Amino acid sequence: MREIGFPWSSAMAERARHSVGATISACRAAFAEGVAANIAGGTHHSYPDKGGGFCVFNDAAVAARLLQAESARHSRQPLRVAIVDLDVHQGNGTARIFRDDPTVFTLSLHGQKNFPFRKEASDLDVDLPDGTGDDAYLQALERALEELAHRFDPGLVIYLAGADPHEGDRLGRLKLTWDGLEARDRRVFDWAWQRRVPLAFAMAGGYGHRLEDTVQVQVNTFQVAVGYARRWHNRAR
| Model confidence band, residue 3 (pLDDT cutoffs 50, 70, 90) | very low
Which of 3-12, 18-27, 52-61: highest mean pLDDT?
Answer: 18-27
| Model confidence band, residue 231 (pLDDT cutoffs 50, 70, 90) | very high
Instruction: Please state, rounded to an integer, the average pLDDT across all residues of the chain.
Output: 91
pLDDT at 9: 63
pLDDT in tens, 92-125: 999 999 999 999 999 999 999 988 988 999 999 9
Residue 4 has pLDDT above 60, yes or no: no
Residue 208 has pLDDT above 50, yes or no: yes
Q: What angle do CA 123, 103, 228 make, to 5 degrees?
A: 85
Residues 63, 94 contacting (CB under 8 angstroms): no
Residues 85, 107 contacting (CB under 8 angstroms): yes
Among 45, 89, 110, 166, which one carries the catalytic annotation? 45
Residues 81, 64 contacting (CB under 8 angstroms): yes
Give the span between the Cα atoms of 164 and 171, in whole angstroms.
7
pLDDT at 13: 75
CA dihedral in degrees (32, 37, 38, 41; nearest 10)?
110
Q: Tell me which of 62 and 49 has the higher pLDDT.
A: 62
Give the span between the Cα atoms of 103 and 210, in whole angstroms.
39
pLDDT in tens, 151-203: 999 999 999 999 999 999 999 999 999 999 999 999 999 999 999 999 999 99
Domains delineated in the chain: 7-236 (3.40.800.20)
Residues 99, 215 contacting (CB under 8 angstroms): no
Assess whether 166 carries a catalytic annotation: no
